[in-house]
């Protein structure tokens, strides 16, 4: 292949394929190299398959609990093979859709392992064959892989990563999850609903520790109510094999505890997938395993850029996509519009959880004066109709100007509604300006308006505070 590309993207995940399409739309001759399925981890081994399984397992639980709505269903059961087939069908459809988008935008999709060379070229390895590609610029978007921490016994059969858990063909009888972050609580919700005895062990004092404290507390109560065994402030010391499965040893409040389980899931996060990405002498500056970039995503190597999970920052698909758009537009000589500092975080438990911008605790740490409006979802008509569990919406605004600084939601459709708050933060809208828009009734979204009104102490459906 003798073509010299304007841009070669290594990796066709959310960041890579988005960047490639944006670059091609801007007139750059672009190729993207991918050795696995298009769509990367998120589409094939992360976000999408996990959310498909959450949907299926939540539906199963809802049918079992339908009596509260006057609906009686007997002999409710599931076919795990069909759940997996539904998951695979969903991911395959989206992956094929990405391929069609690349083709429609005249991005050349090259199958194989992309390896950056010292001279800025890219070698593509496919089986025993190798080809050298010439390019003016390279964008590294190879994504991440599950992180395995150095605990004795994590190499034993039955100790799984999220990738391997997806490949199980039968629902586990019992599952112990190391880690209490987003990946952990989502898988815990899935398998508990399907009948697995689930245990979560988190080293930090609370679940999803980077979220609002009240969200963490509510989530723990809901998961415990559903039968999930939760241990926080607990450090796993070892995993050992026994005849009936695995036994995990950990300390909680200085007391040694051992728990048996059929499987152990290591869900402590992810790390950059740089295996084989660099030829000898071609590795850019790194820090703690991540590629160092400037604010334009330029690495220490000339004309080489990096985005997504390869660099410092939030390891989220939408973050990588936004960075891909930003980098591609810069490379095409355009001025990017997206604000990369405003990153929504979402957890697809039931109820859903979403957060963007500053929390009340962050404001206290920064000694910043804020006003917080809060609405409890038990007073929301749509939540009462669907009998949602504990939930709320918080809006954080600057105490003096009223400019929206953040929002936290724990309720149905939270992951869909958080975008309204993100837009407000990005455009420096005030609470007064957000209240100019009428919100439909009955909707979950009208609770955002109630939380905004509560900033001024004037929410209609909130009991007045005693003076």
pLDDT, one tens digit per residue, over 122-175 is 999 998 889 999 999 999 999 999 999 999 999 999 999 999 999 999 999 999
Residues 103, 168 within the same domain: no
Roughly what angle, to the nearest 10 degrees, separates helices 80-104 and 47-64?
A: 140
Residues 184, 279 within the same domain: no
Q: How many domains does the chain have?
A: 3
CATH number where 419 lies: 3.30.390.30
Residues 258, 318 within the same domain: no
pLDDT tens digits, one per residue of 404-454: 999 999 999 999 999 999 999 999 999 999 999 999 999 999 999 999 999
pLDDT tens digits, one per residue of 107-116: 999 999 999 9
245 occurs within a structural domain: yes
Tokens representing 340? 């990369």
pLDDT tens digits, one per residue of 44-80: 989 999 999 999 999 999 999 999 999 999 999 999 9
460 vs 336, higher pLDDT: 336
Residues 302, 211 within the same domain: no
Residues 140, 166 within the same domain: no
- The range of the structural domain enclosing residue 187 comes to 159-268
Question: Which residue carries 């990946």 as its tokens?
Answer: 183
441 is catalytic: yes
Cβ(369)–Cβ(400) under 8 Å? yes
Tokens representing 418? 């958080």
Q: How many CA atoms lie within 13 A of 180 on its CB side?
A: 27
Quickly count: other Cβ atoms within 10 Å of residue 169's Cβ. Answer: 7
151 occurs within a structural domain: no
**Confidence category of residue 303, pLDDT binned at 50, 70, 90:** very high
> Which residues does residue 242 pair with via DSSP β-bridges, in sequence order?
245
Task: Tell me which of 331, 361, 377 is where a domain ends.
Answer: 331
Tokens representing 228? 């999930």
CATH number where 254 lies: 3.50.50.60
Catalytic residue among 55, 318, 432, 441: 441
- Strand stretches in 333-419, DSSP E: 345-347, 353-357, 370-376, 392-398, 404-410
Cβ(239)–Cβ(261) under 8 Å? no
Residues 170, 257 within the same domain: yes
pLDDT at 464: 67
Residues 277, 129 within the same domain: yes
Residues 9, 101 within the same domain: yes
460 occurs within a structural domain: no
Judged against a pLDDT cut of 90, whether residue 223 lies above it is answered with yes
346 occurs within a structural domain: no
465 occurs within a structural domain: no
Residues 405, 450 within the same domain: yes
Give yes or no for a cis peptide into 442 (omega within 30° of 0).
Answer: yes
């Amino acid at each position: 292949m003798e073509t010299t590309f304007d841009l070669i993207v290594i990796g066709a995940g959310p960041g890579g394929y988005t960047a490639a399409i944006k670059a091609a739309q801007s007139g750059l001759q672009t190729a993207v190299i991918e050795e696995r399925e298009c769509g990367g981890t998120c589409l094939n081994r992360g976000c999408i398959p996990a959310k498909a399984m959450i949907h299926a397992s939540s539906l199963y639980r809802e049918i079992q609990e339908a009596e509260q709505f006057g609906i009686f269903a007997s002999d409710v059961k599931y076919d795990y093979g069909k759940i997996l087939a539904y998951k695979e069908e969903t991911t395959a459809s989206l992956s094929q859709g990405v391929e069609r988008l690349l083709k429609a935008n005249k991005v050349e999709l090259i199958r194989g392992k992309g390896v950056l060379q010292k001279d800025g070229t890219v070698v593509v390895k496919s089986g025993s064959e190798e080809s050298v590609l010439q390019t003016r610029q390279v964008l590294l978007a190879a994504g991440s892989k599950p992180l395995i921490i150095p605990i004795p016994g994590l190499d034993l059969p039955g100790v799984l990563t999220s990738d391997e858990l997806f490949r199980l063909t039968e629902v586990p009888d019992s599952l112990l999850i190391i880690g209490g972050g987003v990946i952990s609580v989502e898988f815990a919700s899935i398998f508990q609903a399907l009948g697995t005895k689930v245990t979560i062990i988190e080293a930090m004092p609370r679940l999803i520790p980077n979220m609002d404290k009240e969200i963490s507390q509510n989530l723990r109560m809901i998961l415990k109510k559903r039968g999930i065994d939760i241990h926080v402030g607990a450090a796993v010391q070892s995993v050992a094999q026994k005849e009936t499965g695995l036994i995990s040893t950990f300390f909680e409040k200085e007391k040694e505890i051992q728990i048996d389980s059929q499987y152990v899931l290591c869900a402590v996060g992810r790390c950059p997938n740089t295996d084989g990405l660099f030829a000898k002498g071609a590795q850019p500056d790194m820090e703690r395993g991540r590629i160092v970039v400037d604010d334009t995503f330029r690495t220490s190597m000339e004309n080489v850029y990096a985005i997504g999970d390869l660099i410092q920052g939030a390891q989220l698909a939408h973050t990588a996509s936004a960075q891909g758009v930003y980098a591609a537009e810069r490379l095409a000589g355009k001025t990017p519009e997206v604000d990369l500092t405003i990153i929504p975080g979402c957890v697809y438990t039931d109820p859903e959880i979403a957060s963007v911008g500053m929390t009340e605790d962050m404001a206290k740490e920064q000694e910043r004066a804020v006003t917080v409006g809060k609405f409890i979802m038990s007073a929301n008509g749509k939540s009462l109709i669907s009998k949602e569990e504990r939930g709320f919406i918080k809006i954080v605004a600057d105490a003096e100007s009223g400019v929206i600084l953040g929002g936290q939601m724990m309720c149905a459709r939270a992951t869909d509604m958080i975008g309204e708050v993100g837009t407000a933060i990005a455009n420096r809208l005030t609470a007064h300006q957000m209240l100019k828009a009428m919100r439909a009734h009955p909707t979950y979204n009208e609770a955002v308006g109630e939380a905004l009104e509560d900033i001024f102490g004037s929410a209609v459906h909130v009991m007045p505070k005693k003076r």
